[in-house]
A and B are shown apart, each in its own frame.
Chain A
Amino acid sequence: MTEALLEVKHLKKVFPIHGGLFGRRVGEVKAVDDISFYIKKGETLGLVGESGCGKSTTGRMLLRLLEPTEGTIRFEGQDLTKLSREEMRKMRKEIQMVFQDPFASLNPRHTVEKILEEPLIVHGLKSKTERKKRVQELLEIVGLSSWHANRYPHQFSGGQRQRIGIARALAVHPKLIVADEPVSALDVSIQAQVLNLLQDLQKEFGLTYLFIAHDLGVVRHISDRVGVMYLGQMMELADSEALYDSPKHPYTEALLSAVPVPDVDIKKERIVLKGDVPSPANPPAGCPFHLRCPKVMEACASIRPAFREVEPGHYAACHLYGEQL
């Protein structure tokens, strides 16, 4: 087994809710509540979950765009949460991010050349001709042409813009790329192109991805392992095959049953969940899923199930598997 490039332990993020006349702290939202995972070098970890379950927050904490409330993030053995601002700034070369909305993630006032130059300038590449050369190189890597360099973002299609976003992330030779729903704003036909580009780049540069998405099909296509999040907690984490073929957690089962299968002969039994996702400001005690779980037991309402290895490499947080280990 290759070593873990990134190891996250007991990561938590709590957003305070201020209210009242003097902005007192009246409550808190546990956006990410004690999650742990690791990513091996060169693999893709998919992270899925409904809106608001904390997957983006997790991604942003890895880059310290949001400060974690608790927990450690070890990148190549170094704890990112303990780094000073300047050390972290240098560290950003190693971890980059691809954003969700290709229309908002590029500065509308800058040409593509300027956008791609920024990381080079920030990380101290002084020579102008070298920067120009690198920009051309980057454009070619992501399948654009050199004449695109002096155009503005609004002159591109969504897929092309996302390519520019990817080129920008690649500019500093990162090891890990956090892709925060990189294809959910794109047309389905373009999604495939961008996903294939990401996979090609992974092979070429030996990149490691944390791929955040809510589209289970997309995640299955690209990920080696998949984590399922619900209400700020990791419910299940396993190899992609294992997770899709034999999900352990009732929540994962329900999610997978909602994936449409393009075959009229297959009659699937859909598990329809009752109710809504509880508010993260007031999460239920015990298992966060127990209010909607079809297999709810007595213990679920009071005791939070531990995140444990159910089968080798297959982790789940559910009381159903409590006795086995």
Chain B
Amino acid sequence: MSALPNKKDKFVVVGSQADHAEKINKPSLSFWKEAWLHFKKNKLAMFGALLLIVLITMAAIGPHIVKYDYATNDLMNSNQPPSKEHWFGTDDLGRDVFARTWEGARISLFIGIAAALIDLAIGIIWGGIAGYKGGRVDEIMMRIADILYGIPNLLMIIILMVVLGQGLGTMILAMTITGWIGMARIVRGQVLQLKTQEFVLASRTLGADSRRILFKHLIPNSMGPILVTLTLTIPTAIFTEAFLSFLGLGLNPPLASWGTMASDGLPALEYFPWRLFFPATFICLTIFAFNVIGDGLRDALDPRLRK
């Protein structure tokens, strides 16, 4: 006991440093950084993202890593099963299925993303204005959307194909002509909900004009649901393309998309199943990837769903 010095001396009062008490050492995370941290934790969504990156990379380099061209016929080697020479086999005209699959991936992904982006642009502007202006403007704009939505989709697409001819442009137009309505509804709902918030009123009090309020306050705050809708629109568009091509309303040969390849491969299912198997598998994988990414984003972007 006596060896120990007075206990009191062992404690040195550091005191509170008033100046630094408020300081937060953790870097200030923006909304997106925080969302990314949550997204990273979602294994399934990360797997989807990885899968998508692989698919996109293959779409970019796939057609170049084999010596065969996607459109060159080789009738001597038609309907070959997968082998060292032709990794995914060949089709009825002897075209290399591997090259065609990745060429098709380019077109399918392009159609999906282009359609979704056009939907996004129209949807944000239409829904944003309808929601922000409200009242009669909203009423009229949304009724127009409702009427468009009521026209049978397939009928409209077939008419467009007949009038404009088949092709990539027609395909995208056909899909976006009604596709934006879902996005517009989402944006409108968000804007309606946000525009009565006090920070929007505050901005008006400061003298901000409608454009500033819409694009600096309302749209950025609805970005979460918009992004989720976007990632879920892409697979829908890819699927629609495949479906239309399958019905013979798609692209003209020799252009390949997954839909046209599946359509060509179906009659040969019994004898040469690889011709259907490969495009069908990649359609499924792509749609799966986008869907799990969309789910992951929804969880990451909505603070209420976070655990």
Task: Decide if B28 touches A122 in the complex (CB within 8 Å).
Answer: no
Task: Decide if A105 touches B198 in the complex (CB within 8 Å).
Answer: yes
User: In the complex, what distance in Å separates the CA atom of A109 from the CA atom of B197?
Assistant: 13
Task: Decide if B209 touches A155 in the complex (CB within 8 Å).
Answer: no
B9 within 8 Å of A (CB atoms)? no
User: In the complex, what distance in Å separates the CA atom of A93 from the CA atom of B216?
Assistant: 20
Task: Knowing A97-B202, A122-B212, A123-B207, say if A108 contacts B28 (CB, 8 Å).
Answer: no
How far is the CB of A91 from the nearest CB of chain B, in Å? 8
Task: Decide if B199 touches A172 in the complex (CB within 8 Å).
Answer: no
B23 within 8 Å of A (CB atoms)? yes
5 A-B interface contacts by CB (under 8 A): A97-B201, A104-B198, A119-B206, A147-B22, A168-B202
> B205 is contacted by which of A96, A111, A150, A155 (Cβ under 8 Å)?
A96
* Mask of B166-209 contacts with A, CB within 8 angstroms, 1/0: 00000000000000000000000000000001110111111111
> B209 is contacted by which of A89, A96, A148 (Cβ under 8 Å)?
A89
> B199 is contacted by which of A89, A90, A107, A147 (Cβ under 8 Å)?
A107
Task: Knowing A89-B209, A104-B197, A109-B220, say if A99 contacts B31 (CB, 8 Å).
Answer: no
Q: Report how many residues on chain A are interfacial, defined by Cβ distance under 8 Å.
A: 33
Task: Knowing A92-B206, A145-B22, say if A106 contacts B199 (CB, 8 Å).
Answer: yes
Task: Decide if A105 touches B209 in the complex (CB within 8 Å).
Answer: no
Look across to chain A and name the residue whose beta carbon is closest to the beta carbon of B202.
A105
Task: Knowing A123-B207, A145-B22, say if A155 contacts B28 (CB, 8 Å).
Answer: yes
Q: Report how many residues on chain B are interfacial, defined by Cβ distance under 8 Å.
A: 24
User: In the complex, what distance in Å separates the CA atom of A165 from the CA atom of B212?
Assistant: 19
User: In the complex, what distance in Å separates the CA atom of A108 from the CA atom of B198?
Assistant: 11
Task: Decide if B207 touches A90 in the complex (CB within 8 Å).
Answer: yes
Task: Decide if B207 touches A93 in the complex (CB within 8 Å).
Answer: yes
Task: Decide if B199 touches A63 in the complex (CB within 8 Å).
Answer: no
Task: Decide if A147 touches B205 in the complex (CB within 8 Å).
Answer: no
B221 within 8 Å of A (CB atoms)? yes
Task: Knowing A104-B197, A168-B202, say if A122 contacts B31 (CB, 8 Å).
Answer: no
Task: Decide if B22 touches A118 in the complex (CB within 8 Å).
Answer: no
User: In the complex, what distance in Å separates the CA atom of A101 from the CA atom of B206?
Assistant: 17
Task: Decide if A122 touches B207 in the complex (CB within 8 Å).
Answer: yes
Task: Decide if A107 touches B205 in the complex (CB within 8 Å).
Answer: no
* Mask of A132-169 contacts with B, CB within 8 angstroms, 1/0: 00000000000001011011100100000000010010
Task: Decide if A118 touches B205 in the complex (CB within 8 Å).
Answer: no
User: In the complex, what distance in Å separates the CA atom of A105 from the CA atom of B197?
Assistant: 7
**Interface residues of B, dominant DSSP:** helix
Look across to chain A and name the residue whose beta carbon is closest to the beta carbon of B31.
A109
Known: A89-B207, A92-B207, A152-B29. 16 other contacts (CB 8 A): A65-B205, A92-B205, A96-B206, A97-B205, A101-B198, A104-B197, A104-B198, A104-B199, A105-B198, A105-B202, A107-B221, A108-B199, A118-B206, A152-B30, A155-B24, A168-B202
Q: In the complex, what residues of A have CB within 8 A of residue B216's CB?
A: 118
User: In the complex, what distance in Å separates the CA atom of A90 from the CA atom of B221?
Assistant: 27
User: In the complex, what distance in Å separates the CA atom of A90 from the CA atom of B208?
Assistant: 10
Look across to chain A and name the residue whose beta carbon is closest to the beta carbon of B29.
A152
Look across to chain A and name the residue whose beta carbon is closest to the beta carbon of B136.
A23
Closest 5 CB pairs of A and B: A105-B198, A92-B207, A104-B198, A119-B206, A99-B198
Task: Decide if B206 touches A111 in the complex (CB within 8 Å).
Answer: no
Look across to chain B and name the residue whose beta carbon is closest to the beta carbon of A160.
B22
Number of A-B contacts (CB under 8 A): 71
User: In the complex, what distance in Å separates the CA atom of A89 from the CA atom of B204?
Assistant: 9
User: In the complex, what distance in Å separates the CA atom of A111 from the CA atom of B27?
Assistant: 13
B217 within 8 Å of A (CB atoms)? yes
Look across to chain A and name the residue whose beta carbon is closest to the beta carbon of B203.
A118
Task: Knowing A89-B209, A168-B206, A172-B206, say if A65 contacts B199 (CB, 8 Å).
Answer: no
Q: In the complex, what residues of A have CB within 8 A of residue B23's CB?
A: 147
Chain A interface (Cβ < 8 Å from any Cβ of B): 63, 65, 89-90, 92-93, 96-97, 99-101, 104-109, 111, 118-119, 122-123, 145, 147-148, 150-152, 155, 165, 168, 171-172
Q: In the complex, what residues of B have CB within 8 A of residue A63's CB?
A: 205
How far is the CB of A104 from the nearest CB of chain B, in Å? 4
Look across to chain A and name the residue whose beta carbon is closest to the beta carbon of B212.
A122
User: In the complex, what distance in Å separates the CA atom of A172 from the CA atom of B202?
Assistant: 13
Q: In the complex, what residues of B have CB within 8 A of residue A97's CB?
A: 201-202, 205
Q: In the complex, what residues of B have CB within 8 A of residue A151's CB?
A: 24, 28
Task: Knowing A90-B207, A92-B207, say if A108 contacts B202 (CB, 8 Å).
Answer: no
Task: Decide if A118 touches B208 in the complex (CB within 8 Å).
Answer: yes
User: In the complex, what distance in Å separates the CA atom of A103 from the CA atom of B66?
Assistant: 59
User: In the complex, what distance in Å separates the CA atom of A192 from the CA atom of B87?
Assistant: 77
Q: In the complex, what residues of B have CB within 8 A of residue A93's CB?
A: 207
> A122 is contacted by which of B198, B201, B206, B217 (Cβ under 8 Å)?
B206
User: In the complex, what distance in Å separates the CA atom of A123 from the CA atom of B202?
Assistant: 14
User: In the complex, what distance in Å separates the CA atom of A100 from the CA atom of B199?
Assistant: 11
Task: Decide if B199 touches A105 in the complex (CB within 8 Å).
Answer: yes
Q: In the complex, what residues of A have CB within 8 A of residue B209's CB?
A: 89
Q: In the complex, what residues of A have CB within 8 A of residue B205's CB?
A: 63, 65, 92, 96-97
User: In the complex, what distance in Å separates the CA atom of A164 from the CA atom of B31?
Assistant: 19
Q: In the complex, what residues of B have CB within 8 A of residue A89's CB?
A: 207, 209
* Mask of B213-234 contacts with A, CB within 8 angstroms, 1/0: 0001100110000000000000
User: In the complex, what distance in Å separates the CA atom of A119 from the CA atom of B199?
Assistant: 12
Look across to chain A and name the residue whose beta carbon is closest to the beta carbon of B139.
A23
Look across to chain B and name the residue whose beta carbon is closest to the beta carbon of A111.
B28
Q: In the complex, what residues of A have CB within 8 A of residue B24's CB?
A: 151, 155
User: In the complex, what distance in Å separates the CA atom of A68 from the CA atom of B282?
Assistant: 62
How far is the CB of A156 from the nearest CB of chain B, in Å? 10
Task: Decide if B207 touches A152 in the complex (CB within 8 Å).
Answer: no
User: In the complex, what distance in Å separates the CA atom of A145 from the CA atom of B22?
Assistant: 9
How far is the CB of A18 from the nearest CB of chain B, in Å? 10
Q: In the complex, what residues of A have CB within 8 A of residue B28's CB?
A: 111, 150-152, 155
